[in-house]
Structure 1
Amino acid sequence: MKPVLLSALAGSHVVVRDDVDVVEASAASARAEADHVVVVTAEGRPVAVFDAADLAGLSGPPAGFAEGFPPVVLVGGEPDELGVEELVELADLVARTGARHVVVERDGVPVGVVPRASIAAALPLDAVDVAGVRAGNPDLPSLTFICTKCSPPRPQMPRVPGPDGGPPLCRVDFFHGPMDPVV
C-alpha cells in the first residue's frame, strides 16, 4: 500500500478560543477560507471541532454547545506518514466514538483537521483484516489510549510513547497521569 500522509488528508482550519462568540468564529473561518474551526481552551486544549455549517444559526461561545457534538479525537502528527495498522486503528477509533473529525497535533498544538470521509477514502479495503489481527492479540501494543479520569473519557491516538516509554499522559488534565490502552 502506498503511504498515507496525515497532512494530505487534513483540510484547512482555524483555531479559536472557547470564549470567542460563534459569529467571530464564523468570520475567522470565512476570512481564512477554512473548512473547520478548532475550539481550544485558554491552555490550548481542543474541546470541539466544527464545520462552517455547524456554526450557522448558532450564537454564543461555541464551547457552550460543544457537548451536543461527538467528542474530539486527537492524533499525534509525527510522523506524518501513517502505516496501514495506524490507518485502520484510526478508522476504528473514529467509528467507535462517532467522531466526524480528527484533530492532528504536533507539540500540543492543532496543526490539522482530518474529516471522517478522508479517513474512509484513504482506507484500502484489503487493509480491513489488519484490525482483526490486532484485536485481542496481547503481543501487539495498543495504538489508542483513553483517559478514564476525564468526563467524558477522551480517546487519543498519540503515536508516540509517554515518559520512559510508558503510556502517554492525559492531554486534557496533567494530574490525570498516564492514559489506559484501548484493547
Structure 2
Amino acid sequence: MTRQKSEAWEWIKALAIAVILAAVIRYFLFAPIVVDGLSMMPNLHDQNRMIVNKLSYSIGEPKRFDIVVFHAPEQKDYIKRVIGLPGDHVEYKNDILYINGEPVEEPYLEGAKMEIVDAPLTFDFELEELRGQKAVPEGHLFVMGDNRRFSKDSRSIGFIAMEEVIGKTSIVYWPISDFQYIK
C-alpha cells in the first residue's frame, strides 16, 4: 500500500513540475501567436501560427526588418516589421525606403512590388508629415506591415513603445505546408 502511495506521489510531483515548466516557458520565454488578417502578405498569411521569442529583446535590441509582436492600442496584439529604430528619419519616395536620407533595400517586398502595376506598393510619406516628428523617438519603433496598402501600422497608430513589444517572431509552424523561417 505504501509503495502505491509513493508511486502516486512521484507521478503527482512529476506532473506538477511539467505544468510549472510549461507555464514558465509559455509566459516568459516562448508563446504561440496566430496571424490575424492580411497586413503581412505575401510573407505571412492569415491564420499562420508562429512562435514568439519573448526573451529576444530582454538580451538584445530590435534590428531593422525584425518581425515583432506588440500590444496595439485596440487591446490586440499586432505582427509587423520594424522599419525605423530610435533616432531614424523614415521616408518613402517612389516606392523606395529611405532611412536617414539613404536608400535601403527591402528584399522581402520584391514579389509584392512585381505584382502591383497600378500604383506603388508603399505610397510616399515622410515621418514628420505623418507623426509630427522628424525621427523615431528614443524607446520607440516605427513598424509597417508588408502588405503596405492594407496594413494598420505606425503610419496610422503611431510609434510603438518598446514596453509594448512582446518579442520577435520568425518561425511559422502551422500549417505544415507554410512551415518556414522568415527573415
Normalising by structure 1, report the TM-score. Answer: 0.29
Mark the structure with the bigger radius of gyration.
2
Normalising by structure 2, report the TM-score. Answer: 0.29
Whichever structure has more strand as a proportion of its residues is: 2
